[in-house]
Amino acid sequence: MVYRPIYVPERPLRYSSKGDQFVGSFLLGLQDSVRPTDAQELGSPVRIRFGGDADSITPDSVVLRVTNSQMERVRVFASSALDSLRVVIVPAFDPRGVAVWLPIQPALAFEQTPRRIQGFGVEGATLVIGTRGVQSRDSFPVLLSINRGSLEANQIFVRSGGGIVKLRSAGLGAATVSARAPGWLPVQATITYGWPLIFLTAALLGGALGGAVAAVQGRRRSRSTVIRSVARGILVGLVVCVVYFGIGINLLQFQVDVRFFNEIAVFAFAALAAMFGIPALSALSKRGGRG
């Protein structure tokens, strides 16, 4: 056989989080084995098609007209691949084709990361860091960083099932979370912190309900008393919820363990605070009355 296809991998296939797939490319040409240094125009162009394990290859075929010099770029896309990917190059003069293996660059990936959560520290998210391109049996350390908000840990160990870290929001706007490890392609994810409207609505409704219940249970049930009790309940409930979900301090007189934002939990916190008050503030008011 005088002619044979030659290929030059440009770089390993790399994972793209946008398309959730590996993307790579290689250069393809036709070599004249008799005169490997001379560029000769072919009397009849040679069409080359592709097969193998890739999801798609662009273009699906190339036409080569000059030996030893013409190189065409071919892009390869694969949604799942381990270690390397098989691509079959099939020239028109050899239906059996030639199999080549393109290397895979192992990559880190965020699994199902939320795009938006409530800001000002009232809501958090659980981030799962997985792997792509290789099946790792042993755990390895992954370094994490974020430009806005806070992470439960700056380093976790990722195993075959992935690793988990918890995030808490801060302020408003976009936050970028990064994960990196030696020998692995790093990954980033963007989470937007929005206004905590759901949080505020739940806190206000819970405080209003708790204040109304406290007024009904009291001795004086006049309209003005109910209004003052509801207003006080809204204020107390909002303060308790902001302090707990924002900085993690519990102002109630009983123990609770709700680590991250939950609409029902916010509503219940506000209602209980409005009904029973804040023990610390109650103690201060009693001391002030005695003095």
pLDDT in tens, 143-187: 999 999 999 999 999 987 789 999 988 889 999 999 999 989 999
Contact 261, 114 (CB under 8 A): no
Separation in Å, CA 101 to CA 26, 84, 88: 11, 6, 9
Question: What is the C-alpha R_g of the chain?
Answer: 32
Q: Are residues 55 and 93 in the same domain?
A: yes
- Quickly state the pLDDT bin for 258 (edges 50, 70, 90): low
Tell me the one-letter amino acid at 68: N
Q: Which residue has the higher pLDDT, 89 or 256?
A: 89
Give residue 279's pLDDT: 62
| 233, 207 Cβ separation under 8 angstroms | yes
Residue 283: pLDDT band with limits 50, 70, 90: very low
Cis peptide before 59 (omega within 30 of 0): yes
Between 256 and 194, name the one with better pLDDT. 194
Residue 190 is part of a domain; what is its CATH number?
Answer: 2.60.40.10
Residue 54 · residue 99 · CB < 8 Å: no
Same domain, yes or no, for 22 and 67? yes
pLDDT of residue 232: 87
Same domain assignment for residues 87 and 154: no
Q: 20 with 98, same domain? A: yes
116 and 139 fall within a common domain: yes
State whether 73 and 126 are in the same domain.
Answer: no
CA of residue 93 relative to chain centroid, distance: 47
Three-state DSSP class for residue 266: helix
Same domain, 75 and 158: no
> Residue range 1-15: average pLDDT?
86
Boundary-marking domain end, from 103, 137, 172: 103
Question: pLDDT tier at 128 (50, 70, 90 boundaries)?
Answer: very high
Q: How many domains does the chain have?
A: 3
Q: Give the residue from 132, 161, 194 where a domain finishes.
A: 194
Q: Are residues 264 and 216 in the same domain?
A: yes
Do 182 and 209 lie in a common domain? no
Q: Is the dihedral of CA 236, 239, 240, 242 positive or negative?
A: positive
Give residue-wise pLDDT tens across range 27-72.
999 998 888 888 888 889 999 999 999 999 999 999 999 999 999 9
pTM of the model: 0.72
Residue 146, domain extent: 107-194
CA distances from 214 to 60, 179, 211, 217 (A): 73, 49, 5, 5
Domain final residue pick, 165, 194, 223:
194
**Strand duo 116-118 + 187-194: pairing:** parallel
Those residues with Cβ within 8 angstroms of residue 169's Cβ, 6 or more apart along the chain or in another chain: 117, 118, 119, 120, 121, 122, 123, 124, 125, 149, 175, 191, 193
Q: What share of the chain has pLDDT > 70, as a percent?
A: 90
Longest dimension (CA), the chain: 108
What whole-number distance in Å separates Cα of residue 246 and Cα of residue 124? Answer: 10
For 116-157, give the DSSP string: EEETTTT-EEEEEEEEESS---S-EEEEEEESSSEES-SEEE
Q: How far is the C-alpha of 176 from the C-alpha of 51, rounded, in Å?
A: 39
